[in-house]
Amino acid sequence: MNMKELGSYKRKIKVEISKFFRKLRFGILSMREEKNAQDRLIVKIVRSLLDDKETRVVHSPNSNKTYIRTKDKKITVIFDIYTIRITNHKFFFTGTLKDGIGQDMTDLAKARIEREMNVIDQDVITNEKEFLLNVYDTFVSPKIEIETK
């Protein structure tokens, strides 16, 4: 066996080991309940609401619940990793979430909130730069011109 074949063999072993641990990490080897049609529909509803830029998403760290509300306030979704409640103020649906579904939806909501916070953070940085330039132009720049004369 030459060095090239040995390196190829080592890479194949690394890939197989990483596949095994990935399956172990994400619970594929453990017993998980299969998603039924209702579960898939709930996930689609939450994903579509999270994809809508007009929808308001809030996560409460104390209760670990996520609140999603449409702009027109017709639909409200409240969920944690175990339960979900969907209401339109006339009718409501309350259900339990199967293993992993609630955590996946919570992770999606947190990712959406994080993206929104990054946009706000960039706006603050831009405003800070403009503020500093304004202070410099207002207070520092005229004094420098006076001193140089």
Q: What is the pLDDT of residues 29-57, one digit of tens each?
A: 455 566 788 999 999 999 999 999 999 99
Q: Look up the domain containing 97 and give its range.
A: 33-148
pLDDT of residue 55: 95
Per-residue pLDDT, averaged over 79-108, amounts to: 91
Asked if 63 and 133 sit in the same domain, the reply is yes
Give, as one character, the DSSP assignment of residue 70: -
| Bridge partner list, 56 | 69
Mean local confidence (pLDDT), 91-116: 91
43 and 82 belong to one structural domain: yes
Count of other CB atoms within 10 angstroms of residue 121: 10
Q: Mind listing the pLDDT tens digit for each residue in 54-91?
A: 999 999 989 999 999 999 989 999 999 999 999 998 89
Same domain, 74 and 17: no
Q: Which residue has the tokens 């197989």?
A: 16
**Do 37 and 24 belong together in one domain?**
no
- Number of compact structural domains in the chain: 2
Which residue did the predictor score with more confidence, 143 or 106? 106
Can you read off the two tokens belonging to residue 112? 């959406």
Which of 4-8, 66-70, 98-102 shows the lowest mean pLDDT across its residues? 4-8
Cα–Cα distance, 117 to 95 (Å, whole number) = 30
Q: Are residues 80 and 142 both part of a single domain?
A: yes
On whether the pTM is more than 0.75, the answer is no
Q: Distance between CA 59 and CA 65 in Å, rounded? A: 6
In this structure, the answer to whether residues 23 and 70 fall within a common structural domain is no
Q: Where are the beta strands (DSSP E) in the chain?
A: 56-60, 65-69, 76-79, 83-87, 92-96
Tell me the C-alpha distance between 6 and 11, whole Å.
9
* Percent of the chain whose predicted confidence (pLDDT) is above 90: 44
pLDDT for 125 beyond 80: yes
The DSSP output letter for 76 is: E
| 59 and 22 fall within a common domain | no
Is the pLDDT at 20 greater than 50? The verdict is yes
Residue 110: is its pLDDT beyond 90?
yes
Say whether both 21 and 79 belong to one domain.
no
Give yes or no: residues 53 and 126 share one domain.
yes
Confidence (pLDDT) at 29: 47
